Amino acid sequence: MNISTADFWGYVGQMLDGAVVTIQLFMSGFTLALVFGVAIGIITLSRNIVIQAVWRVYASIIMGVPSLLIIFLLYYGGSAMLRGLFGNNLYVDVTPFGAGLAALTIVYAAYVAELVHGAVRNLPRGQFEACAALAIRPVSAWRHVIMPQLARLALPGLVNIWLIVLKDTPLVSLAGLNDLVANAKIAAGATKEPFVFFIAASLFFVVASALTMPLSNWLERRFARGLQRVKA
Amino acid sequence: MTSLATEAPMASPVAEPLRPIAVEMTGVDKWYGTFQALKGIDLTVRKGEKIVICGPSGSGKSTLIRCINRLEPHDKGTITVNGIELDGSPGRTQDVRLECGMVFQQFNLFPHLTILENCMLAPRLGRGVAKEQAEAIARRYLERVRIGEQAMKYPSQLSGGQQQRVAIARALCMEPRIMLFDEPTSALDPEMIKEVLQVMEDLAAEGMTMICVTHEMGFARRVANRCVFMDKGEIVEEATAEDFFGNPDSDRLKQFLAQILH
């Protein structure tokens, strides 16, 4: 390696700053996608024609267009869109982080919503009927009976989405966000040591993914109360 | 057991004035798309009566019983339960469901809750009963279906017969005045049918109004005041258990009984 130790640690420090940005974007993006996705998923179970039409258009755009394009659209076209929606005198500076967060939310909320649909379809109809026959009102039934079971059914899919969002987060660096990957690229370019910094960045993602496994196992055990004892 | 069996049908001597009506269906039609599942159903069930509905599969028995608590909305005619007419409004539907308990073929217990929690949920949410009181009610009914010692287990840890008894207890915890049974023993292994029927017979002996869709003809003979035979969405014959089995009127019922009582 032909760089000084001080320089090297300088670049490592920059990459750590970038990693913090990556983690912030990933966590906030995943959380918002989860919240909006579950809400959209439940609302679009309705057979209302308008709701169904809006959902179909949204889902087919989101699932057909690459996330990178959505990030670019929101970053380069974001202020124009906001002005169009809320009036011309509004001036909002769309930051790369803001555009990236909005894009990850909009894209992955659609996937979470699809997951919710699948989980509801897999839930026996008898669960809804038992609630109705016991005079449990729909809101209570969803909260106490349906949602806990959906969480269990949707968990494997959610872990998948979690990992995909994690790996999609660096796309926002192309809109100018100084995240882990952007800083690794700068360091690699400046030092002509691509392997060192890109492998370091890769290790970060490997470790972050590996950490999700114990988390998802713990959640799975929690949600499978009453079920896993028989499997054993 | 034999004493219960003879008591039940004799509970309403001829001279006694007619009891109040629990469930009244008049001219009920039900369509699934272009298929007519129920055709002009007229049925009156009085308080304390035990009615058994039987018939070939696809004859509309389940649809009929599910219309009584509006799990299926009917398309024509009127259904009145303990004086409340089902007109499609959420309030009336809720009131009727508070009058009726229902037991399903597939038990439909909540798999993520313990047996005790299964029984406590509806009273707490639907009737606003306090936690301690709900637990006391749940334990009382679980004892009555002889499953009290399993209260802390989850449904998947119980046998089918035990699960169905829990389902009966869960429905009773809402203290309904009418119990609807939709083929309660059809999903059970043969050796578990008896324990569920026993619980239902105990319930009948206590004077509960019961409407049961079942193929258990022994149960029908022992417990039912009246048996109803359905075919192709119509009530073909309605008679006391004695006449129903001993002296069936229609050819369709004769055929059905010949097939089922081998």
Q: What is the CATH number of the domain that holds A27?
A: 1.10.3720.10
- A27 Cβ under 8 Å from any chain B Cβ: no
Among candidates A129, A133, A149 on the partner chain, residue whose Cβ is nearest the Cβ of B112: A149
**Does pLDDT of A113 surpass 80?**
yes
Q: How far is it, in rounded angstroms, from Cα B200 to Cα B205? A: 9
Mean pLDDT of chain B: 91
- How far does CA B229 lie from the centroid of its chain? 15
What average pLDDT does range A7-22 have in this prediction? 90
Among candidates A130, A135, A223 on the partner chain, residue whose Cβ is nearest the Cβ of B98: A135
- B113 Cβ under 8 Å from any chain A Cβ: yes
**Does pLDDT of B256 surpass 80?**
yes
Q: Which residue has the higher pLDDT, B227 or A7?
A: B227
Mean pLDDT of chain A: 89
Q: What is the pLDDT of residue B14?
A: 52
What average pLDDT does range A84-89 have in this prediction? 76
**Domain presence at residue A66:** yes
Share of chain B above pLDDT 90, in %: 87
The total domain count for chain A is 1
Please, how many CA atoms are within 13 Å of residue B6, restricted to the half-sphere of its CB? 2
Which residues constitute the domain of residue A41? 9-231
How would residue A83 be classed by pLDDT, with cut points 50, 70 and 90? confident
> Is B112 close to A148, i.e. CB distance below 8 A?
yes
Nearest chain B CA: its distance from A137 CA (Å): 7
The pLDDT tens digits for B143-182 are 999 999 999 999 999 999 999 999 999 999 999 999 999 9
**Domain presence at residue A4:** no
**Does pLDDT of A87 surpass 90?**
no
**Does pLDDT of A232 surpass 70?**
no
Q: What is the pLDDT of residue A2?
A: 64
What average pLDDT does range B110-130 have in this prediction? 94
What average pLDDT does range A206-216 have in this prediction? 88
**Residues of chain A neighbouring B122 (CB-CB closer than 8 A):** 134-136
**Domain presence at residue A126:** yes
Burial annotation A117-128 (CB, 10 A radius, 16+ → b, else e) = bebbeebeeebb
How would residue B7 be classed by pLDDT, with cut points 50, 70 and 90? very low
Q: How far is it, in rounded angstroms, from Cα B47 to Cα B145? A: 22
**Domain presence at residue A218:** yes
In the block, residue with structure tokens 């999903």: B187
> Is A145 close to B110, i.e. CB distance below 8 A?
yes
> Is A136 close to B113, i.e. CB distance below 8 A?
no
**Domain presence at residue A2:** no
Q: How far is it, in rounded angstroms, from Cα A115 to Cα A40? A: 11
Q: What is the pLDDT of residue A215?
A: 85
**Domain presence at residue A37:** yes
What average pLDDT does range B12-19 have in this prediction? 63
How would residue B239 be classed by pLDDT, with cut points 50, 70 and 90? very high
Q: What is the pLDDT of residue B153?
A: 95
How would residue B1 be classed by pLDDT, with cut points 50, 70 and 90? very low
The encoded tokens of residue B13 equal: 């001597």
Direct distance between the N- and C-terminal alpha carbons of chain A, in angstroms, rounded to an integer: 53
**Residues of chain B neighbouring A129 (CB-CB closer than 8 A):** 71, 104, 108
Q: Which residue has the higher pLDDT, A85 or A48?
A: A48
**Domain presence at residue A3:** no
